[in-house]
Amino acid sequence: MALDSGNFLSRFARSIRSLSIDMVENAKSGHPGAPLGLADVVSYLFKDFLNYSPEDPHWLGRDRFVLSAGHASAMLYSTLFLTGYKFTMDDLKKFRQLNSKTPGHPEVDLDYGIECTTGPLGQGIGNAVGMALAQKIMQARFGNLFEAKTVVVAGDGCFMEGVAQEALSLAGHLGLNNLIVIYDYNSVTLDGFREDSASEDVATRYAAESYDVFVVDGHNYEDIHRVLSPLREHQQRPVLILAKTIIGYGAKKKAGTHEAHGEPLGAEELQNVKEFHNIPLDKSFWFDEEIKQQFSSKNRENLTKSKNWSNHPKAAEAMAFIKEPLSKGLEEEIKKIAWPDSISGRDALKMTLPVIAKHQKNFFTMSADLSGSDRTAIKDGGVIRTGSFEGRVIRAGIREHGMAAIANGMRLFGLRILTGTFFCFSDYMRPSLRLAALSHVNTIFVFTHDSVGLGEDGPTHQPIEHLASLRAMPNLLLFRPSDPFEVAMGLYFAMGQHVPVAMVLSRQAYARTPDLKSLIVENGHAVVFDHKGAEASYDYCIFATGSEVALAVDVAKQLQQKGRSVRVVSLFNFKLYDAWLKNQAERVPKAKSTVSIEMAASFGWCKYAKIHFSIDTFGASAPIKDNLKFFGFTPDAIVSHLSMHTSS
């Protein structure tokens, strides 16, 4: 590949800069510095390196481009507009405005060329590692059909975040020789200069992480070409490129300083920049129209590439693998699993995973060094190791946050992925959980060791506020099943959703609830005990989740012996239950007293119950029986309290 001998790249970069700074100025909000500094690198990528097709944006064999430094979104939108994606000039003029296609940070939309939602720093790096890993997994199955690259552009903010360091470490270990990370090495952070907060030798560090590291002048096309061009055919390891750029390039006063980072340039500096880059002063939102025209011609060539890819003998098989539907046979086989009388949530998962893996070939699991405890390893699934990607089990190491971001990237690529760790460690993963929810990414997050019932490990490992916290997150479905059949059917249901699912499972055994073969997961609940008296309403309706459902049934039996009418509901998903209630309000039985039982914070239960058996403190380090007695989670303690409460 020869470097463009004309001035196309500089004209392309000039148009990117022109549109980007006018977008920010027009919105009176945004980040002009990074687009001015990175435009030369990005113009080379989209003109001479990346394989993509605006006319076939879902092409499975395309390269992935991720802007982890999502604050530079104006640059991304400008570039995608110029290269022929669906963005219009009106979209650019509505940058950062309500309901526009150009929000403040990129949000995933493949039709517009945006691979993932970025902005929270480091997340795009994690997603990119997941995409690169997914490409290697597909290459192991379908050969040279998957020789694409994943290129991610990041800045100081990304590299200082722990999530990026976790993800990059795993990528180096696995030897992802299709991952190219471009570090916008401008030596400036939002608060000042990089040297004020960091002094590490980045090149040496990542060389030690098994990366090939290069340094380039980010404003010199010959130098950019020198490093990037050979990587198309000869990349042995993950690559880190330190692109030395000038933030706010062309601004007389702000260039090279943090003042160019996060606010409009202002009239004076806007004029200075336009004069420096020979951008017409009298035209707002100017761009070189020949650039867009030439990309229109280039995109016909790109469409030919995607069509040729689709005609590959294995392309249809690869597409079928990615788009694999849920097997009806899977549901039937799940219903036939012979569960023991007593089994924990995590062991119910262990029994279910081989059944899922048998029916769904596009299904992988990943654990943060806890597969022996969270039971997420697929039996006989094979482990993915350095340079070997045939397996279905990924060992993320002790990298919970990196694992979650990587899993989101894999799911965005099209692979089904389930992650596992302890529920308390969801704290480490929350930003990635939130981005999965924001992006409608159907990653399945399994969390085990779900309460003070895990015992001796104590308060540091016992989740209290976590259920309420994740239930509050929009677009995230949280399941806390009470029975192995709820676990298995909940997983089956989760795989068919278009949002992330958190499956919260117990370490301790569930006592089996009555027959649930008629379980309707989409209703969010199951009635597991129903003793109706002569009156129109129940004396008690008890709501519970997880292992506490069996406790609630024991409580109900004691109340029944006292002549009380009781209904017990396993409320395994609040959002689905609320949706069901909207259409069922007249048919929901009334109760004189409504009760919730859950070994977690009471926050959120006021919607369903007036009396709460909960834990609004941290846990305790003791054997499970002592913990349950200490916190009042025994049938006798609950019945005694209810008797006093309802008689007073």
Active site residues: 400
Region label for 119, one of left (φ > 0), alpha (ψ between -120 and 50) or beta (otherwise) = left
| Interacting residues of 266 by C-beta distance below 8 A, sequence separation 6+ | none
- Total residues found in the chain within this entry: 648
DSSP of 483-535, one letter per residue? SHHHHHHHHHHHTT-SS-EEEE--SSEEEPPSP-TT--GGGS-EEEEEE--SS
Measured CA to CA, the distance from residue 581 to residue 607 in angstroms comes to 12
The identity of residue 44, as a single letter, is Y
Report the b/e string of 218-227 with b at 16+ CB within 10 A.
bbebebbbeb
Supply the angle between the helices 289-310 and 73-83 in degrees, to the nearest 10: 80
CA dist 416 and 364 (Å) reads: 6
558 and 639 Cβ atoms separated by less than 8 Å: yes
Contacts of residue 617, defined as CB under 8 A and 6 or more positions apart, other chains included, come to 464
Q: Is the dihedral of CA 341, 345, 346, 350 positive or negative?
A: positive
Q: Nearest 5 degrees, angle CA 450-CA 616-CA 630?
A: 75
CB 69 within 8 A of CB 153: yes
Report angle CA 294, 270, 284 to the nearest 5 degrees: 50
Are 69 and 75 in contact by the 8 Å Cβ rule? The answer is no
Of the candidates 644, 646, 614, 647, the residue with the CA atom closest to the CA atom of residue 631: 614
β-bridge mates for residue 570, sequence order: 526, 544
- C-alpha distances (whole Å) from 257 to each of 186, 192, 241 are 9, 7, 22
Alpha helices in 5-122 (DSSP H): 8-27, 33-44, 73-83, 89-93
Both structure tokens of 517: 């073969």
Asked if 412 and 436 touch (Cβ cutoff 8 Å), the reply is: no
Q: How many angstroms from the chain centroid is the CA of residue 41?
A: 27
Name the amino acid, one letter, at 153. V
Q: How many CA atoms lie within 13 A of 46 on its CB side?
A: 36
Q: Please name the residue that has the structure tokens 């117990």.
A: 506
Strands 342-344 and 416-422: unpaired
Q: Return the axis-axis angle of helices 8-27 and 73-83, rounded to nearest 10°.
A: 130
Write the CB contacts of 199 (distance below 8 Å, at least 6 apart in sequence): none
Short-list 580, 598, 602, CA closest to 544: 598
